Each structure stands twice: as structure tokens, then as C-alpha cells.
Structure 1
């Protein structure tokens, strides 16, 4: 086990790489032609793994980014770049790879730590198969257990004060507008010209909690179920998108799935743990 900060950092990077290479090996089939590429530090290794397959495989593929970071990664690796707005009507991506800030037992995700959540959700829901790649730190029994920064919510700037008021009424614990880069005044501005609000809630309940645990999950006692909270958040006027990825996966619905069909975690012991959503 790593004992120093430097060793811990190296361990985390190694775990990310292991998970990324295994996920690409398992889910990037040679016949695929349209591939979504997400954002975040783990996706760096996903692109490395794809590029390592060589042009004899990748030259037939087109890669769709979720933001400027993944766009730069795709171009730097010499891969074919295309934008999700150019995806032909009625067509889907074959697969999309992306990371997460936190993953619960049912493979619900919190995403948006890098402020690309809207594009990430568009790309994920455009894919037949969405694959999550992360390291062992992102595993949690319930969303909000380890990720204390809050659920990222993309909002129209003029609506931000009202959205903050509504979030407080819903039981969010000190929701706040995400500040910009250190040394710069103002809020974080997304690629869409929106702001990000980070809204912490108590750990979110799963169906097994509400079905057998006697919890309502409607926020009445400060506790929300993932799906109920997500539905309430997206209905707040001024909210453009939320960083909860929940509901069905690509094995359950033909299109529009927000949850991954599999999540790959690089573990601290050098292994890769693969989790599938509950049936």
C-alpha cells in the first residue's frame, strides 16, 4: 500500500491506466465506427489505449468528444475527430467511454466535476453502450458518501440565485456557485455559457433502501432517492442539466441510457474490478 503522497498519486494513475486499457480491450470492437470520448483524467488513458491499437484499427473509426479537453486528446492522438452535432439523424454511437466523480452500488453516477456534464450526458445517451472507467476512489455505496462537493448542476446565470433558493428548500447543504479559476473573479463558465452550481445532499437512497428500508426517498426527511431527486432537480426553472446519470442502461433501453452497461475500476492492489448494473 502506498505510504507517501507521491506513492499514492502514482498508485492512482496506475489504477486509472489499468482500468482504461481493460475497458477498451473489452468494449472497443474492431468493427465499430463511431466512438464517444468523455472528459477527465481517466479518459487520457482511454485515448492512449485506443491509439495503441494502431491506425489499421482506428483509421476506420470516428471519435466524438464531450468537450475541449477530449477534443484535444483525440487530435493529439491522431484520431479522426467529429462532433456530436454531426451524428446523422437516427444513428447512435457504437460505444462511449467516460469517467465519473462517484459511482454507487447500482452504477448511478455523479459527473460534472470538470464542468462538462451537459455534453457528457449528450454523448453518453447517444451511445448504444456507455462504459464508465474510474479508479478505486470513485466507488461508494451511495452517491454523496465520498463526493462531498455536491451534485453539479448547470444553470442559466440569470436563474442562479433562484435555483440556489430552491435547492436550499429541497434540503441541499450549502449549495454554491462554483468559482472560476484561482485568481480570477466570477463563476465557472461552461462551454455552453452557463454556470455550475454544486449542491451537496445527504447520501442518495437506492431502490433497496426505499423498498425494504422504510425510507420514502422524497426528501421529506432530508433523504432523497436518486431518481426522485434527479426528476425534481431537472424541473427547476433555469436548470439546463444535472450531473446525476441514472435510470436505465444500454442493455435495458435501445437509446437514451444514462447509466453505463459496465464500470471498470482500477483497484489499489493492481487488479481491475468490473461491475455491472443490477438486473
Structure 2
């Protein structure tokens, strides 16, 4: 049964990835962002399947070591986001998510690459999220209960933990390293990750914590990023690429491979027919 369930999830990821690439990777595009995570494996597979006639003129920008290896293994042209000229943008970026709510806000960072992922996503004209059915949620924090990943300066971690508890986080913890490795996990940037669980987050821009309400995505994100010692947070929120010309954190579309073999596509409310 376990093997069957695992195969179902992998099949759903592959379906979503191929559909997303078909819909959003135009042959005229030359700069493409590639995110991190298990679903992105199939994104790169789908891109490579287009063949060198299509991909030879394209350059691919990774969010970390995993996506860098995927790009090179597929024989695609590799470049780094720090080489992108000021004012230039990626045509599109593909990445996964740990949870996606009804307004296409995301929790990302389960793989500890959230800072690089946000840099690449916000450098793209269009950010497209690819995931499986387990990542669908009405509110962030409903199915992903491990907490919001927060990348922090190690020396500030103890004080940040206290601040998170003050804000209502339920038992925030410094993420431990891999099995057999003592101490905290260290990101590609030399930082630590704190996982901060909160009650499910509401949509919108207002919050009412003092009177028993819950944080909204936007309000909590704004508060977290202002904590001294926080480098970046795993909430992707605010505007999408259809609303602003640059710097969008939210996807213009999210593709979910479903358990029944279909692909569900979610777009921002304003773009729906």
C-alpha cells in the first residue's frame, strides 16, 4: 500500500510538471528559473524532453545545488542569478511549494532553500508553482503543520525563538541537521532555519490577534520579516506577476497533479474567466 501511495504522488507530480511546462514555457523564452524540491525533478525532465532544438537558446537559473545538478544532468545551459544584468528579468520560473492556499499564497522552505527560491521567483516576469494534491489547502498552516520556515542569523536564533512565541507561534524550533549530523541545519547562505508553527492563516491584509483573531498571511509576513536577525521567510505573498512588473512573490498559476490522474490549475481570482 505504501509503495502504491508513493507511486500515486510521483505520478501526480509528473503530470502537473509536464502540463505547466507545456502551458508556460514558450519557445521564444531565453531565461528560465528552476526551483528546488521533488516536483522540480519532473519540470526539468519535461523541459529536456522538448529537445535541444527548443532548449539550445535557453539559459536556466537554479535556486540551489539540487536544481543546479538537475540542469547540468539534463544537458541544459546553466547560469546563475547573480549574473542576470540589472533590470533584466527571467521570462518564467518554475518551483514547488509545501502548501498553497486559495489565494495562491505559499509556504516554502521545507528543503531549506527559501531565500534563493524567493530571489529567483521575484526575478521572473511569471512564477509558476507546480505541486501535487497534498499541497492544496484552504488556509496556510492547515496541512503543512511543521511551521513556517524562517532563515535566521545563528547568533540571533535564541532571541528570535522568543519573539516568535510572543507572536503566537506554537513551539517554534531550530531545524536540526541531517541524521547523524549534530547541530542545526546550515543553509547555503550559512544561516539556520527555524520552523515556526502558527494557527491557520487567514487571507487578506487585516489581522485581529489581540481580540482572539488569527494572523493573516500578509500581516504575519510583514511582522516576521521585520524581526532583527531574520534573513528571509518562507511565506510567498503579496502581488503576482500579473499585478506588478517585477518583484512578485506569488505565482500567476499553480498546477496540482490530482489523485485521479487529472491536473488542477489554480489562477488568481482576478484572472479567472
Write the deviation string for residues 9-56 of structure 1: whole angstroms up to 9, x where unpaired. Answer: 000000000000000000000000000000000000000000000000
2:258 aligned residue (251, 255, 267): 267
Structure 2 residue 162 is the aligned partner of structure 1 residue 165 = yes
Provide the C-alpha distance between the structure 1 equivalents of 2:208 and 2:194, rounded to a whole number of angstroms. 21
Q: What's the counterpart of residue 187 of structure 1? A: 184
1:130-149 to 2 correspondences below 5 Å: 130-149=127-146
Matched with 1:213 is none
Question: Is the 1:218–1:228 contact (alpha carbons within 8 Å) kept by the matching residues of 2?
Answer: no
Q: Is the 8 A contact 1:218 1:229 kept in 2?
A: no
Give the structure 1 partner of residue 225 of structure 2.
234
Q: Tell me, in whole angstroms, the C-alpha distance in 1 between the residues paired with 2:249 and 2:26.
A: 21
Determine if contact 1:102/1:109 at 8 Å carries over to the other structure. Answer: yes
Tell me the TM-score normalized by structure 2: 0.97
Runs of 4+ in 1 over 4 A off after TM superposition: none
Count of residue correspondences:
269
- Matched with 1:258 is 249
- Is 2:7 the counterpart of 1:18? no
Q: Does 1:115 align with 2:112?
A: yes
Which residue of 219, 225, 247 maps to 2:209? 219
Contact 1:102–1:143 (CA under 8 A) maintained in structure 2 = yes
1:80 lines up with 2:70 in the alignment: no
For residues 278 and 237 of structure 1, the distance between their equivalents in structure 2, rounded to whole angstroms, comes to 34
CA contact (8 A) 1:202 1:222 kept: no
Cα drift, residue 278 of structure 1: 1.9
- Tell me the distance in 1 between the aligned counterparts of 2:109 and 2:40: 14
> Given the alignment of the two structures, is residue 29 of structure 1 paired with residue 20 of structure 2, yes or no?
no
Q: Which runs of 5 or more structure 2 residues have no equivalent in the other structure?
A: none
Root-mean-square deviation (CA, aligned residues, Å) is 0.8
User: d(CA) in 2 for partners of 1:278 and 1:187?
Assistant: 40
3-state SS of paired residue (2:77) = coil
CA offset at residue 98 of structure 1?
Answer: 0.1
Shift of 1:222: 5.7
8 Å contact kept, 1:177–1:196: yes
**1:183 CA displacement:** 1.4
For residues 231 and 90 of structure 1, what CA distance do their matches in structure 2 show? 26
Report SS of the residue matched to 1:73.
Answer: helix
Instruction: Establish whether residue 38 from structure 1 lines up as the match of residue 29 from structure 2.
Output: no
The answer (yes or no) to whether the contact 1:121–1:245 under 8 Å persists in 2 is yes
TM-score, with structure 1 as normaliser: 0.95
Residue 68 of structure 1: which of 62, 65, 68 is its match?
65
Structure 1 spans left out of the alignment, 5+ residues: 211-215
SS across alignment from 1:196: strand
